[in-house]
Structures are given as structure tokens and as C-alpha cells.
Amino acid sequence: MLAKSLVLFIGIGVIAGLGFGVYLIDVKNTSQLIFVEGPSVSVVTEKSDFKKGEEIKIRIVNSGTIPLTFSDSSYGLRITGLSGILMFTPASAQVISNLEPGDEIEFSWDQIKNDGDTALEGLYKISSKGMDNDGNNVEKSTTITIWK
């Protein structure tokens, strides 16, 4: 027969572990796409962890209620290391691009940097920067991890 205190501690541990597991699942599954009132842009990837060499699909979504303007046809997309060093920007024309509320554009990155080298394992920041009708900057970013 087990001591009452041992049963109590095991019960508390199981309940705490279950609660912490639910919390972690909820935190890991937080959506990158949240629609809001006013100007907003969202950068969405299908997951946050990628294998080295795997194609990364990136969606830029106008998640607000105001049309957004971008200074080029890449919709302000930039992929940098966490230190801020630019790793990749898609080739784009210097034309004004617009994204209406709810509209989205998709890009893919094959993990090849602008200099032709393959991206190393690590954390990368994917960001997009545009402007609203009043000329205010609207920027959003997400972080991904590339694993071996």
C-alpha cells in the first residue's frame, strides 16, 4: 500500500503535467494570422520549424481593414538572421504594390541566401513592411527555425 502523501504528490504531478502540456500546446499553436480593425499585415508560414533544404512557403496577408501599399513587388519581404543581417530578399520590380483587406500573396524560399550560399541551421526572422493610407509604417514579422 502506498503512503497517502506519495499518492497525493503523484496526483498533483500528473495534474500539473497535464496542465503544463495543454499550455505548451496552446502556446505552440497560436495562430500567426489574427484579423484586426485598422491597418495590419501578417506574415504566415505553415509551421515554425523546418528541415535544412526544405522549401518554406511564406504568405503575406493584409489582416486589417485598410488597404496597404508596398514599395516593391516583393511586398517588403525580408529574411534576416536574428542579428539583423539580411539573408534573402526576393528579386522584385520597383513598382508600387497594393494589398486590399483580406488579400494575400505567397512567396517561397528554398533556403538559398542572396549570395547563393545555403542558409545554415538557426533562427531566422521573416518580415514584411508596408504603409497605410496615411503613410504610417505597418510591419510584422515571424521567427522560424531551420534544423539539420
pLDDT attached to residue 1: 64
Question: Does position 68 have pLDDT exceeding 90, yes or no?
Answer: yes
- Reading the block at residue 115, the C-alpha cell is 549570395
pLDDT attached to residue 29: 45
Question: What is the residue type of 45?
Answer: T
Question: Does position 119 have pLDDT exceeding 90, yes or no?
Answer: yes
pLDDT tens for each residue of 96-111: 999 999 999 999 999 9
Question: What is the residue type of 48?
Answer: S
pLDDT category of residue 132 using cuts at 50, 70 and 90: very high
Task: Name the helix (H) or strand (E) containing 20.
Answer: helix 4-28
Q: Taken in order 68, 74, 79, 83, is the CA torsion positive or negative?
A: negative
pLDDT tens for each residue of 11-44: 899 898 877 776 655 554 445 688 899 999 999 9
- Reading the block at residue 116, the C-alpha cell is 547563393
Is the pTM value of this prediction over 0.85? no
CA distances from 25 to 117, 127, 143 (A): 35, 25, 18
Task: Name the helix (H) or strand (E) containing 88.
Answer: strand 86-88
Q: What is the DSSP letter of 32?
A: S
